[in-house]
Amino acid sequence: MKSAIVLGAGMIGVATAVHLQQRGWSVVLLDRKEPGLETSYANAGIIQSEAVRPYAMSHDWRELARIALGRSNEVRCRLAGLSRHLGPLLSYWLHSFPVRHTRASEAYAQIIGCAIPEHEVFIRQSNACNLIRCDGFRVLYRRQSALEAAVAAAESCRQAYGVKFSLLTAGELKKAEPALADAGVGALHWLEPWAVLDPGALVCAYADLFTRLGGRLVRGDARSLAKSGSGGWSVIAEDGRLEADAAVVALGPWSPDLLKRFGYRFPMVRKRGYYRHYEGGSRLDLPLCDSANGYVVAPMAKGVRITTGAELTAPSAKPNFSQLAHAEQAARKMIMLGRPLEPEPGYGTRPCMPDMLPVVGAAPHHPGLWLHFGHGHQGFTLGPATGRLIAELMTDKVSMIDPLPYRPERYWHN
């Protein structure tokens, strides 16, 4: 029986571990915390089947100036921490031009198209149906020009990839969501995404499935990863040294730092996002994105959750809650939000690769070392899909989609 150590118990690592265990591997899943407590928890809880085109960086200098001057709540940057992002950001900007972005979207749509079917299998196997809503989410617009541009982009996605949406007038949105005090000029309703009432609980349900299948969940430090004398890989866990034939690095934004020890240099744009829960106010029926103010407000098991857009800052920087404060102020004008549930907001970090595609495949120079990270804003969505892809690659079986666009060596052999 082949054996593997999967490093990282977020959605990506847990999904990888489940797929390997189901294919006959003996798997240990290692993390310093319980499953689903990092970025996999700090999100809007939407399995985004409509996100067939990855987030591109604007080429509008006015928009870039708004971001640089702190006038955009969707993207904020702290100049003190921007220096480490400059190289990856420039590459990201270049990949956002139409030809490259179209090429990335064609590959991205392949894995997005597998997202809900692969989640559906895990949800059924883990008895987590009570956490899921299958009727989409909505995006509210406050200017007619912005709504018209969004409809044009949505129609383009519908024609290219078959995603489904409907257009709501302000009155129709107010009827669908009576709690709204302000329905803007209307909304897009993406019809097919799934909303999750507790993202962390869903990751934990998948982790429980993994252990029921015979997998082991252990605490340990991924930084202890090393080649073992037997030709495999080892880590130090709380209960001692563990060895396996293979190791999978699924540490999200921490992956590049670990891999530097093995001679790999991966550029990455790390985008921080903040969240907080509120209780005692009104509830929405479906998650709602306020496009003008760059946040999502979503009904959750713990009341209502606000999640922000992206902040570019140094990984070690102290939290700056101004982006969340702006979102909260806007949300309170839209619904009765209630009181904050946590003493302080939390945050997670989205690991974005410059070409907007995740890294999925074998490390070029280290047999038995596999890489699975860089899912950007869609790690929660894509975990079961790319988890299946890497498990198929590791098992030497024909993969469900062409793995070439996601290969790690693309960063050295373009």
Cβ atoms within 10 A of the Cβ of 252, count?
A: 25
The predicted pLDDT at position 54 comes to 94
Domains of the chain: 3-40+201-266+355-411 (3.50.50.60), 54-195+268-352 (3.30.9.10)
> Where are the alpha helices (H) located in 126-221, listed in sequence order?
144-161, 170-176, 199-212
Query: Is the Cα torsion angle 17, 22, 28, 32 positive or negative in sign?
Result: positive
pLDDT tens digits along 301-310: 989 999 999 8
Could you tell me where the DSSP H helices lie in 213-321?
255-259
Per-residue pLDDT reduced to its tens digit, 20-72: 999 999 999 999 988 877 666 778 999 999 999 999 888 877 777 676 656 67
Residue from 314, 252, 351, 366 nearest 77 by CA: 314
d(CA 111, CA 101): 16
Q: Which of 250, 249, 231, 246 is nearest to 26 (CA)?
A: 246
pLDDT for residue 77: 75
pTM of the model: 0.94
In 23-104, the DSSP E strands lie at: 26-31, 46-47, 75-77
| pLDDT at residue number 313 | 83
CB environment 54-70: b (16+ within 10 A), e (fewer) = bbbbeeeeeeeebbeee
pLDDT at 414: 43
94-104: b (≥16 Cβ within 10 Å) or e: ebbeeeebeeb
pLDDT by 10s per residue, the chain, length 414: 899 999 999 999 999 999 999 999 999 999 998 887 766 677 899 999 999 999 988 887 777 767 665 667 778 777 666 667 788 988 998 999 999 999 999 999 999 999 999 999 999 999 999 999 999 999 999 999 999 999 999 999 999 999 999 999 999 999 999 999 999 999 999 999 999 999 999 999 999 999 999 999 999 999 999 998 778 999 999 989 999 999 999 999 999 999 999 999 999 999 999 999 999 888 899 999 999 999 999 999 989 999 999 888 887 888 989 999 999 999 999 999 999 999 999 999 999 999 999 999 999 999 999 999 999 999 999 999 999 999 999 998 788 899 999 999 998 754
Count of H helices and E strands in the chain? 10, 22
Closest listed residue to residue 393, CA positions, set 360, 367, 365: 360
Q: What does the H/E/C string look like for the chain?
A: CCEEEEECCCHHHHHHHHHHHHCCCEEEEEECCCCCCCCCCCCCCEECCCCCCCCCCCCCHHHHHHHHCCCCCCEEECHHHCHHHHHHHHHHHHHCCHHHHHHHHHHHHHHHHHHHHHHHHHHHHCCCHHHEECCCEEEEECCHHHHHHHHHHHHHHHHHHCCCEEEEEHHHHHHHCCCCCCCCCEEEEECCCEEECCHHHHHHHHHHHHHHCCCEEEEEEEEEEEECCCCCEEEEECCEEEEECEEEECCHHHHHHHHHHHCCCCCCEEEEEEEEEEEECCCCCCCEEECCCCEEEEEECCEEEEEECEEECCCCCCCCCHHHHHHHHHHHHHCCCEEECCCCCEEEEEEECCCCCCEEEECCCCCCEEEEECEHHHHHHHHHHHHHHHHHHHCCCCCCCCCHHHCHHHHCCC
